[in-house]
Structure 1
């Protein structure tokens, strides 16, 4: 299986307090350890009855994905839905079975999510040198590689996740952070190499693993892959340049408050958001790792007597963040996580309890980043511009009916307007 540990790295983050600003990034080894009612049975042949294999048969075209939100343009004066995105860095399945568990959670509560796959989770250790990471020797990795059982299990969950209506993005490959060849030092061309290799490991997992009898992944990864989160939230500037050139539609590697998203270089900026830490005087990123750092430091197994309290603190912080958006500006809530049992699984319980609380509400849409991007692209730019003028937790004066009925012209410099030379028109 994957290496049991990996370097914990704190990335550079601009925040009002030091403790609130740790980078939202996994600090331990690879993945640890079925989204909508009525989803079809697993297997590529379950979609539309037709499968067209791609390349060596690791992936396949199987038709239009099911169980997706149909984006509709808001009517004049209509209140926007409350979107919540749950996303997972380095998604993979191992003995803790957290990937399969949260697929079941998604089905139970009507939630679809985004799973950011690390490409090396589909590459066996015996083929490690096929990975040529920027600024590192071939076969290097800060998260190790997988074994055949882990690859088989991860492919099974990726297949089922997509059939459930979830999205498969990328967390890239070797997860290098820091100043010693970390992603924050990579050039645009080095990012393009990393992205190309991430795609290759998905497109060729059968050849690389020898597991040729297994069913393919039921999607064309060149078309499926439209967004990412960088390791430790580092290297975002050059990644955006590379991603814009390659036609990506969004990035979720930044940090923001709970406001409506804008575009950068033609990509939707779905940054992780600052949310309350109940009982503390600061906010932190809406991610399990960041709550952990503020509770037990870099120790992934702190005082067992505090595990329940810490999990409740994260759950309550996420729900407070949800409540202020839901009753205020209705900005999408962006939440990031890892399949890790840090502090006795406190954060996994917190996330599951949050899903169970918010995703069942009538006007709430728990969706993937792809579906959120589709909805935003369907809206009137003037409507999005007005939504962006609302601050954190700020409800429109006079209610939504008046606020989104009378639309003024988009003022000069409004963030809804693409800046010249920054990918205008590329969605």
Structure 2
């Protein structure tokens, strides 16, 4: 698939520019204390976990035509526990990827390696249609569109195979496989117009393309994806951040746990329509008094961006948002990206530099959305309520012990 066609995948959301005043975020898995143990030992253990999972997959319980399989507990998952009263929460950061296909440029594999190196689990929102061959495109029937219609291109057979390999390894790395649905329709006739039942149809098709990629491609001897997609799929981001209300209604019926299809400030998350609202946030936009959404596409279409300053503006904006939370209310930073080379790869480099800078920091956990939801679910609701009372960048008056101390209502 050529770059021009691929660029349609990035049509995520209109640029968000607001006066500096507030920002927004969420929370995730792990302990509040410093990282323990030697990093090289952790990576060695992680590789052992991945090898063990790969070995299990050879004797796995195949599902359906063998495109997916149940291989047991996912490797490299963090320990989750409830915060003690007055304990400082970890600083969570989520890096996520819309579309998540491999088109021969090595970007998927590269960021998987970056994640392993810096102990960063990520969420890959796979477009289901990326596992459907061009010759079978009529199998896709988007609500309100002709059979086979799509606003993004399909992958070549070779790139489907590469995408399956990357998705398989990403899960074994400990990352999450979500969905970006299928045809990426935006605007008046797109996902914003879909009913709850039409969203269920779109989701069912996205699942089917993942669960039947062997049948559709003819690659019956390939290794399966080592997870049950019904159990793995617990959240999503909608195309162009549109249609969230009816999507959440459908997702709630399907037992999903989170949605990341909106715009938040950097404050601790709450549930919306029964799902954790883990939407991206607004962070400072360098060189202005404005804020911008934490996604590469939005920095790209910001009228203040030029090719010359694109990398530094996104990197510095993300780091400013990180520092505001890290030294303040500890609301996690949520970042969205695409495997794109806009402005000669400026945004890819900006994201990689951010990962390298923040993930090794003390008390920082770079996690997937699913891991973040696990941590939130494990907390005392009173503790989360108290943390949600903190404004953007606001550290608790008197310190974290005061926030959870006697008389605070958080025990």
Query: Normalising by structure 2, what TM-score?
Result: 0.89
Cα distance per residue 1:72-99 (max 9 Å; x no partner): 1001111000000000000011121111
Q: Using a 3 Å threshold, how does the CA distance of structure 1 residues 50 and 73 change in structure 2: closer, same or farther?
A: farther
Q: Does 1:261 align with 2:272?
A: no
1:73 pairs with one of 76, 82, 99: 82
After superposition, residues 262-301 of structure 1 pair within 5 angstroms as 262-295=270-303
Q: Does 1:204 align with 2:212?
A: yes
Cα distance in 2 for partners of 1:282, 1:101 equals 32
After superposition, residues 285-364 of structure 1 pair within 5 angstroms as 285-295=293-303, 303=307, 306=308, 309-364=309-364
Q: Using a 3 Å threshold, how does the CA distance of structure 1 residues 310 and 198 change in structure 2: closer, same or farther?
A: same
What SS class does the counterpart of residue 228 from structure 1 fall into? Answer: coil
Cα distance in 2 for partners of 1:196, 1:89 equals 19
Q: Using a 3 Å threshold, how does the CA distance of structure 1 residues 319 and 247 change in structure 2: closer, same or farther?
A: same
1:149 pairs with one of 158, 161, 183: 158
Q: How far off its partner does 1:47 sit?
A: 3.8
Cα distance per residue 1:296-321 (max 9 Å; x no partner): 77xxxx64xx1xx2101110110010
Higher relative contact order (CA 8 A, sep 6+): 2
Q: How far off its partner does 1:2 sit?
A: 6.3
Are the counterparts in 2 of residues 43 and 218 from structure 1 also a CA contact under 8 Å? no
Cα distance in 2 for partners of 1:212, 1:49 equals 14
Cα distance in 2 for partners of 1:148, 1:3 equals 17
Cα distance in 2 for partners of 1:223, 1:371 equals 14
Cα distance in 1 for partners of 2:390, 2:304 equals 35
Cα distance in 1 for partners of 2:237, 2:264 equals 14
> What residue in structure 2 maps to residue 32 of structure 1?
none
> What residue in structure 2 maps to residue 171 of structure 1?
180
> What residue in structure 1 maps to residue 102 of structure 2?
93
Are the counterparts in 2 of residues 2 and 143 from structure 1 also a CA contact under 8 Å? no
Unaligned 5+ segments in structure 2 are 20-41
2:250 pairs with one of 229, 235, 242: 242
> What residue in structure 2 maps to residue 46 of structure 1?
55
What SS class does the counterpart of residue 92 from structure 2 fall into? Answer: strand
Are the counterparts in 2 of residues 259 and 392 from structure 1 also a CA contact under 8 Å? yes
What SS class does the counterpart of residue 18 from structure 2 fall into? Answer: coil
Cα distance in 2 for partners of 1:48, 1:129 equals 32
Cα distance per residue 1:199-253 (max 9 Å; x no partner): 0000000001111111000000000000000000000111111111111100000
Q: How far off its partner does 1:147 sit?
A: 1.5
> What residue in structure 2 maps to residue 124 of structure 1?
133
Cα distance in 1 for partners of 2:57, 2:209 equals 26
> What residue in structure 2 maps to residue 16 of structure 1?
18
Q: Using a 3 Å threshold, how does the CA distance of structure 1 residues 106 and 315 change in structure 2: closer, same or farther?
A: same
Are the counterparts in 1 of residues 14 and 298 from structure 2 also a CA contact under 8 Å? no
Q: Using a 3 Å threshold, how does the CA distance of structure 1 residues 193 and 214 change in structure 2: closer, same or farther?
A: same
Q: Using a 3 Å threshold, how does the CA distance of structure 1 residues 120 and 3 change in structure 2: closer, same or farther?
A: farther
Cα distance in 2 for partners of 1:100, 1:316 equals 25
Cα distance per residue 1:14-45 (max 9 Å; x no partner): 8636xxxxxxxxxxxxxxxxxx7232456964
Q: Using a 3 Å threshold, how does the CA distance of structure 1 residues 324 and 118 change in structure 2: closer, same or farther?
A: same
Are the counterparts in 1 of residues 192 and 242 from structure 2 also a CA contact under 8 Å? yes
Are the counterparts in 2 of residues 114 and 168 from structure 1 also a CA contact under 8 Å? yes
Q: Does 1:114 align with 2:116?
A: no
Cα distance in 2 for partners of 1:47, 1:279 equals 52
Q: Using a 3 Å threshold, how does the CA distance of structure 1 residues 66 and 135 change in structure 2: closer, same or farther?
A: same
Unaligned 5+ segments in structure 1 are 18-35, 411-427
Q: How far off its partner does 1:111 sit?
A: 0.5
Cα distance in 2 for partners of 1:148, 1:340 equals 20
> What residue in structure 1 maps to residue 36 of structure 2?
none
> What residue in structure 2 maps to residue 369 of structure 1?
369
Query: Normalising by structure 1, what TM-score?
Result: 0.86
Are the counterparts in 1 of residues 192 and 243 from structure 2 also a CA contact under 8 Å? yes
Cα distance in 2 for partners of 1:223, 1:165 equals 15
Cα distance in 2 for partners of 1:87, 1:254 equals 14
Q: How far off its partner does 1:409 sit?
A: 4.8
Q: How far off its partner does 1:48 sit?
A: 7.6
Q: Using a 3 Å threshold, how does the CA distance of structure 1 residues 137 and 272 change in structure 2: closer, same or farther?
A: same
Q: Does 1:193 align with 2:201?
A: yes
> What residue in structure 1 maps to residue 27 of structure 2?
none
1:61 pairs with one of 59, 65, 70: 70
Q: Using a 3 Å threshold, how does the CA distance of structure 1 residues 76 and 66 change in structure 2: closer, same or farther?
A: same
Cα distance per residue 1:139-163 (max 9 Å; x no partner): 0001121111011100000000000
What SS class does the counterpart of residue 292 from structure 1 fall into? Answer: helix
What's the RMSD between the two structures over aligned residues? Answer: 2.2
